[in-house]
């Protein structure tokens, strides 16, 4: 049993936002543990290149270009995902946008709609399209990428935080609704992770001094450390975990600054 706890052989995973720093690590980790991986992002060329790299590493992978801002088009893309291998066992919703920085009162309607559509509504729509087939296959695992920005107030990226807090709640709702049919749903809330998206923060010496002082492990996280948790949640190792929001932040949200 111990050797098979993290085995994903025979499973099919769909990863959104799959060509960015964290998405790449998620695809590699899921594939390395035996899953076939659908590489999804809004850039068709980037999807194809990433799928080819995974294939060269011995991972069964295929590209699936999907524009999550086009809510009306998600059903057709979900149908393509289901057709690839006959179903999806692991859904990792990693795609997201930060949106504008600044006070919530200054956010325009278009920005609000874009962030909520991509970060939240698209996830619900994709789940709605895929989970009935997942249940028919005997169950599966849904992993929603939230953030510690959804756990505490933030005067800089409040809209992003709202959308991420809602994702954690969506995971709980999906867990309750679909648990009787063998589907587990969880969220992951990363802290500061070394990805291209975090480059401006990593290069800000004053910010980093403050952040690391608040973080007991005194370092930033690495993409593979998030991907490893996703493998656990997708595999038999996480078979009794559902409705949980797993915080992976080196202790930032519990640190006292000392």
> Is 106 tagged catalytic?
no
Instruction: Tokens for 124, please give them.
Output: 């619900």
Q: If you compute the radius of gyration of the chain from its CA atoms, what whole number of angstroms results?
A: 18
Nearest to 114 by CA among 72, 69, 167, 67: 69
Cβ–Cβ under 8 Å, residues 144 and 150:
no
C-alpha to C-alpha distance for 20 and 184, rounded to whole angstroms: 25
- In DSSP notation, 10-35 reads T-EEEESSTTSHHHHHHHHHHHHTT-
In the set 23, 78, 93, 160, the catalytic residue is 160
Which residues form the catalytic set? 160
């Amino acid at each position: 049993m111990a050797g098979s706890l993290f085995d994903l052989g025979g499973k099919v995973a769909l990863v959104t936002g799959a060509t960015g720093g964290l998405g790449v690590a998620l695809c590699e980790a899921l594939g390395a543990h035996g899953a076939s991986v659908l590489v999804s992002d809004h850039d068709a060329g980037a999807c194809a290149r990433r799928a080819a790299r995974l294939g060269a590493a011995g991972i069964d992978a295929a590209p699936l270009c999907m524009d999550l801002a086009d809510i009306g088009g998600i059903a057709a893309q979900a149908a393509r995902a289901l057709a690839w291998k006959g179903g999806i066992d692991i859904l990792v919703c990693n795609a997201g946008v930060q949106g504008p920085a600044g006070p919530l009162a200054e956010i325009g309607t278009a920005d609000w709609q874009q962030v909520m559509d991509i970060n939240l509504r698209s996830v619900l729509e994709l789940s709605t399209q895929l989970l009935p087939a997942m249940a028919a296959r005997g169950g599966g695992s849904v992993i929603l990428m939230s953030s510690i920005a959804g756990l505490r107030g933030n005067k800089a990226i409040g809209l992003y935080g709202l959308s991420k807090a809602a994702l954690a709640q969506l995971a709980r709702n999906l867990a309750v609704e679909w648990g009787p049919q063998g589907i587990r749903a969880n969220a992951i809330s990363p802290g500061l992770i070394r990805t291209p998206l975090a480059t401006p923060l990593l290069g800000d010496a004053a910010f980093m001094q403050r952040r690391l002082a608040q973080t007991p492990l005194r370092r930033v996280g690495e993409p593979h450390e998030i991907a490893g948790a996703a493998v656990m949640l997708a595999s038999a190792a996480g078979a009794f975990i559902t409705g949980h929001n797993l915080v992976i932040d080196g202790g930032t949200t519990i640190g006292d600054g000392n």
